[in-house]
């Protein structure tokens, strides 16, 4: 009986250690996601190109603010970035108390909501970037990337961080679910 | 001691009943989401408008297939719909065996992936629908909704089912997390 109890205690320690490992991994992933979303927001938010020729009345200029979708992209990435910074506190709490479960449920819920927000922003921006590159002959929308070359490269590149963030958030939700079930 | 054990057994029954209630709710929500995504896919997939005037060479016609984003929208909604139908099997399994947990983790993972797919499709389509309504003066993209009026109404309407599906998927992930933690 005593042996069985010791075995049980040992199993609990192993489970606790496993959960602690998951919590540390969770913390590191959040740090990576913070950098990725921040980089996306900054890369998109500073995009701005003025063409070297202009007529008397019009100066050819493209900014991210000309496209409401890109403004949404910058806002959403910033919101997710701030959320991830705040969530680090709970992540640290999970490293210390690896058996907490209500806080994990809260984290899953908000992670899922943020996943939705980030995916919406990234894919809406991707749809516009695709249009800028390819245009659409049926709707008479021309590919603007031929003129605004560096503008297009910047907006395309800034999507990468966002999509990286999406993958990390999916992984974070999965890790939280695993940790919850091992309690 | 016997009293405590009976109390424990009673608590387990209550917990089991609660989990069964969650599983039934999960099942119903999946049915609603199936209808919503299917309706979205069909509404978008049958959109097609031919204007009543045409020149000698060009007939003015708009189809959902003219926009790659809308094709993606139809495909993604169909995929999520089929996934939800398949996931009903696991949902029924959870009604019968309310203490299963590995299957719940699997379900959380795939639900999250499908949430990402559906959100990507819906918001990319929403970005294009917005462009169709408002156009973009800076890029010289004109609002095509003035000509293709009923086309625009259909594509706007078909977004509703998708966004409903997104909200339901977020709720499903949350419910699974709660069920996991109550095991």
Which range has the worst mean pLDDT, A159-173, B24-38, B64-78? B64-78
Most B CBs within 10 Å, among A61, A114, A138, to test the B interface:
A138
Residue B66, chain A, CB below 8 Å: the answer is yes
Nearest residue on chain A to B146, alpha-carbon basis: A139
pLDDT tens-digit series, residues A7-59: 656 665 666 678 888 999 999 999 999 999 999 999 998 887 776 655 555 55
Q: Do B130 and A68 touch (CB under 8 A)?
A: yes
Side-chain-facing half-sphere of A173: CA atoms under 13 Å: 31
Burial B117-150 (b: 16+ CB within 10 A, else e): bbbbbbbbbbbbbbbbeebbeebebbbbbeebee
Kindly write down the DSSP assignment for every residue of A145-170, as one continuous string.
Answer: GGT-HHHHHHHHHHHHHHHHHHHHHH
Q: What is the pLDDT of residues B100-127, one digit of tens each?
A: 888 999 999 999 999 999 999 999 999 9
Per-residue confidence (pLDDT) for residue A98, from 0 to 100: 81
Residues A109/A128, Cβ–Cβ less than 8 Å: no
Q: Can you list the residues of chain A whose pLDDT is less than 70?
A: 1-16, 51-60, 183
Q: How many domains does chain A have?
A: 1
pLDDT value at residue A108: 92
Token output for B28: 């119903």
pLDDT of residue A144: 84
Asked whether this complex has an ipTM greater than 0.95, the answer is: no
Is pLDDT of B164 > 90?
A: yes
Give the residue, A103 or B16, on which the prediction is more confident.
Answer: A103
Query: Domain range for residue A40?
Result: 13-51+65-181
Instruction: Please give the angle made by the CA atoms of B172, A75 and A111, to the nearest 5 degrees.
Output: 25
B77 to chain A: which residues are within 8 Å by CB?
Answer: none
Cα-based distances in Å from A179 to A12, A15, A176, B57:
13, 9, 5, 64
Q: B35, B54 in Cβ contact below 8 A?
A: no
So what's the pLDDT on residue A146?
81
- State the smallest CA–CA distance between residue A179 and chain B in angstroms: 10
Q: Which residues pair with A28 in a beta bridge?
A: none
Using a CB–CB cutoff of 8 Å, tell me whether A182 touches chain B.
Answer: no
- Asked whether the beta carbons of residue B127 and residue A132 sit closer than 8 angstroms, the reply is no
What's the mean pLDDT when you consider all of chain B? 86
To probe the interface with B, which of A105, A115, A124 has the most B CB atoms within 10 Å?
Answer: A124
Q: Please report the DSSP string for B12-74 in residue order.
A: HHHHHHHHHHHHHHHHHHHHHHHHHHHHHHHHHHT-EEEEEEE-SS-EEEEEGGGSHHHHHHH
Q: Which two tokens stand for residue A52?
A: 């070297």
- Flag whether residue B94 sits within 8 Å of chain A, measured between CB atoms: no
**Rounded to whole angstroms, how far apart are CA atoms A175 and A26?**
7
Instruction: Please indicate, yes or no, if residue A3 is contained in any of the structural domains.
Output: no
CA distances from A141 to A121, A137, A154, B144, B154 (A): 22, 6, 21, 10, 20
> How far apart, in Å, are the Cα atoms of B51 and each of A108, B58, B63, B147?
49, 11, 11, 8
Question: Is B141 in contact with A141 (Cβ distance < 8 A)?
Answer: yes
Cβ atoms B50, B149 nearer than 8 A? no
> Which of A58, A118, A141 to probe by mutation at the B interface, max B CB count within 10 Å?
A141
In eight-state DSSP terms, residue A67 is S
CB contact under 8 A, B174 and A126: no
| A138 occurs within a structural domain | yes
Residue B6: how many CB atoms within 10 A of its CB? 10
A143 to chain B, any CB pair closer than 8 A? The answer is no
Residues A123 and B162: beta-carbon distance below 8 Å = no
Q: Which chain B residues have a beta carbon less than 8 Å from that of A174?
A: 105, 108-109, 112
**Among A13-22, B24-33, B148-157, which range has the highest average pLDDT?**
B24-33
pLDDT of residue B74: 94
On whether residue A1 sits in a domain, the answer given is no
The pLDDT score that the predictor gives to residue A49 is 75
């Amino acid at each position: 009986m005593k042996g069985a109890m010791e075995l049980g205690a040992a199993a609990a320690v192993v489970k606790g250690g496993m959960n602690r490992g998951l919590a540390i991994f969770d913390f590191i992933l959040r740090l990576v996601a913070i950098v990725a979303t921040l980089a996306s927001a900054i890369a998109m938010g500073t995009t701005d190109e003025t063409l070297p020729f202009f007529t008397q009345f019009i100066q050819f200029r493209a900014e991210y603010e000309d496209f409401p979708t890109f403004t949404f992209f910058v806002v959403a990435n910033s919101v997710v970035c701030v959320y991830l910074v705040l969530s680090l506190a709970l992540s640290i709490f999970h490293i210390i108390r690896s058996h907490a479960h209500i806080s994990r449920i809260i984290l899953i819920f908000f992670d899922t909501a943020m996943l939705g927000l980030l995916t919406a922003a990234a894919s809406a921006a991707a749809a516009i970037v695709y249009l800028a590159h390819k245009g659409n002959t049926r709707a008479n929308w021309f590919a603007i990337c031929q003129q605004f070359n560096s503008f297009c490269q910047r907006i395309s590149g800034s999507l990468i961080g966002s999509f990286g963030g999406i993958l990390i958030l999916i992984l974070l939700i999965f890790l939280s679910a695993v940790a919850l079930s091992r309690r």
